[in-house]
Amino acid sequence: MDSSWLGRAVRGLAGYVALAGGTVLIVITTTTVVSIIGRILIPLGLKPIPGDVEIVQAGMLFAILCFLPWAHLTRGHAIVAILTDRFPTRFNAFLEFLMDVLMLAVALFIIWRFQAGLFDKIGNRESSFILRYPIWWSYAAGLIGLGTFVIVAAYCAVRSGRNAFSANPVRPLSEMGE
């Protein structure tokens, strides 16, 4: 783990955003359970939560986008090491740098298109069917996770670039459980 102030700040930001996503995941899970119980107990006068599906859809979007930065920072994504374990340390460090640069490009592309979708939803005033909340609210909330993802991806690209182009690169951070 990078012990610099920037490394700690990026790790803290990604951690707090992931916690926000986890909190929303708990809320939508509770909403689903309460709504299902309400459906089962209709004969007793209970009712399902109106718009429960819309709540779950918006919440899952937010949660998934909030988990992306943490997954990338901690190398929680899939790593196929059956071939790369045989390569020299410098090659693996460069490969990790290349993958981090590609992940930054993907993150930038996703946020670019996501904000285009946000402006489209604002412009056409689309709202959810049951709760009638503006759909752009979900897009705006998702930018929290995506913005953090871009910051984390840029940080990881710089960090792995420093390692790949150093005089003595260390094993790639993904192999060290960084």
Average per-residue pLDDT for the chain: 91
pLDDT on residue 176:
47
Q: Token pair of 151, please?
A: 């910051």
Q: Note whether residue 48 is domain-resident.
A: yes
Rg (CA), the chain: 21
Taking alpha carbons only, the member of 48, 46, 19, 50 closest to residue 33 is: 48
Q: Note whether residue 171 is domain-resident.
A: no
**Strand (E) or helix (H) holding 177:** none
**What is the total count of domains within the chain?**
1
- Containing structural domain, residue 89: 5-164
Q: Note whether residue 176 is domain-resident.
A: no
Q: Note whether residue 169 is domain-resident.
A: no
Q: Note whether residue 95 is domain-resident.
A: yes
pTM confidence score: 0.89
Instruction: Write out pLDDT tens, residues 45-94.
Output: 889 999 999 999 999 999 999 999 999 999 887 776 777 778 888 998 99
